[in-house]
Structure formats: structure tokens, C-alpha cells
Amino acid sequence: MKTENSEPTGMDQYNEIAKEYKQSKMLPFRTESETPTFMALVGSDLGDKSICDLACGEGFYTRKYRALTSGHVVGVDISEKMINLAQDQQNSSVESPTIDYRCADACKADFLEEFGASFDVVTATFLLNYATTKEMLGKFIESAYKLLKPGGRLIGINTSPFVTDQDTFNKTHKYSVVYTTDEVPIKEGDPLHIHLTTESGDANFDNYFWTAVTYEELFRKVGFQEMQWIEMGLKEDNDKEYWHDWVDNCPIICFSTSKPLA
């Protein structure tokens, strides 16, 4: 929790950078790589499936889900400023039915009890990498599991657990996203300092490093099955030479897993 004299940490950071982070969704590394890769994983037609978007931020992906399903769409974020931005964009649109936005901690019992295992899909875009402890990471994953119907999918985007040194991070700095580390080599729980450059200003925040082994062990412990890591691709008709360093050394990655049917 943030105190009077402390810097914002974890999800608190977004109250400080909400507008800049919203603008960052239009950066080329997102529009040409992150978004098309992730949305291909989500699918193009979700019928009447229900979706819960954990750490929805200002609703960038939540609005995309709304266009793909006639089912219930919930966006939840702990940052009040992010939820306000999301609501503002919904209120000025013609979306119907609306998105059910909540400013809440999705790990808390009251949220979990309200919705129970009612969602076909739960998404977590850049949520898990905000866990400052292994216990917190486990709670994030457990909450997603509890929200899913049997057979439901958890899909998301995360800081890559496969990029573990500053030299590799440096190769992607030219794409307007800079990762820096305090220690070499990176250890479990170490902060990753991230700097995004946007037209409306810069955004600085921290992620936390966890190994692929830790992620996969916690997914299995909770009960998930068939966990997969999906590397970022590139939208067609892009300059492959320009994007070579991004694709080969990408600091972000997608993941997918599912809750057993029984």
C-alpha cells in the first residue's frame, strides 16, 4: 500500500500515469505486434460467451471483447482513474449492451463471491507481472481460476520470463519501450523498470520478474491445465527487417491455459 512518503508500487502506479498509459496503446509495438497477436488468441467470434477482463485499465481490450460477444463483459481494475477513463469512453459511445466496469480488487472475497465461476473467458493483460511476491502471484492466478466456468480459458499478456538480461532488453529499446534492471543476473521478484515514450508524455512503472518455472508451477497448483506461452508475432505487410530485433528479443509474451471440465 502506498504511504505518504513512498513511491507508488504495483497496481497503484496506474493512478499516476493513467492518461499516458492509455496513449501508449497506440505505440507501434502495440498496434503492429502486441494487439494483433493477442486478439488472434482471443478469437474473432465469441458468440454469447461471458468475459472478465482482469486489470482492464482504461478498457482498451475490454471494448474489443464487447464487439465480439453478446454475453456479459466485465472489466475490473484497482485503479479508480483507469476505471474513470474506461467509463468515460463507454458513456460517449453507442455500445450496447454496455460493459460492466468495476473498480475493485478481483482477489477479494466479495468480488469472487458475486461472480463465482461464471465466465467462459478470463483475460489478464499485464496483471501477473505486477505481483511483488510469489504469494501475490498465486492469488492472482487463483482468482482467475475461481472466476472461470469448467472448461473456461485464461489468456493474457505478460512480461516475458524468457528475457533475463539487460543486453537483450537493450535490443528492443528503439521501439519506444525501455526495460532496465537493477541486478545482473535478474533474480525472482526483482523489479523491471519500464519507460514508455508517448506523444502526451512519458510513463514510468515497474513490473516484477518471475521465472517460467514459477508461473507454470503456480498454474498447475491452482488446477489449470495445458499452459502455453505464445510469442509475439507481427502484423502482415510490416518491415520485417525493422522489426527483427523486436520479434527475436521481445520483452512481452502471451499465455493461454484452461480450467478442466471436471
- Bridge partner list, 257: 154
Positions in the chain whose pLDDT score sits under 50:
1-11
Residue 124 within a domain? yes
Residue 222 counted as domain residue: yes
Confidence at residue 200, expressed as pLDDT on a 0 to 100 scale: 76
Listed in sequence order, the residues at least 6 apart from 99 whose beta carbon sits closer than 8 Å to its beta carbon are 59, 62, 63, 66, 73, 74, 75, 86, 90
- This prediction's pTM: 0.89
Please give the Cα distance from 76 to 82 (Å, whole number): 10
Give the model's pLDDT for residue 2. Answer: 29
pLDDT at 59: 94
For the domain that residue 101 is a member of, what is the CATH number? 3.40.50.150
**Is 156 within the bounds of a domain?**
yes
Share of the chain above pLDDT 90, in %: 76
Residue 1 pLDDT: 26
Q: What is the pLDDT of residues 65-90, one digit of tens each?
A: 999 999 999 999 999 988 998 998 88
Q: Is residue 45 part of a domain?
A: yes
pLDDT tens, residue by residue, 196-217: 988 877 889 999 999 999 999 9
Per DSSP bridges, beta strands 100-103 and 73-77 are: parallel
**Total domains present in the chain:** 1
Q: For residue 246, is it within any domain?
A: yes
Tell me what pLDDT residue 12 has.
Answer: 54
- In a domain, residue 104? The reply is yes
Q: Which domain holds residue 40?
A: 27-160+210-258
Give a yes or no: residue 205 inside a domain. Answer: no
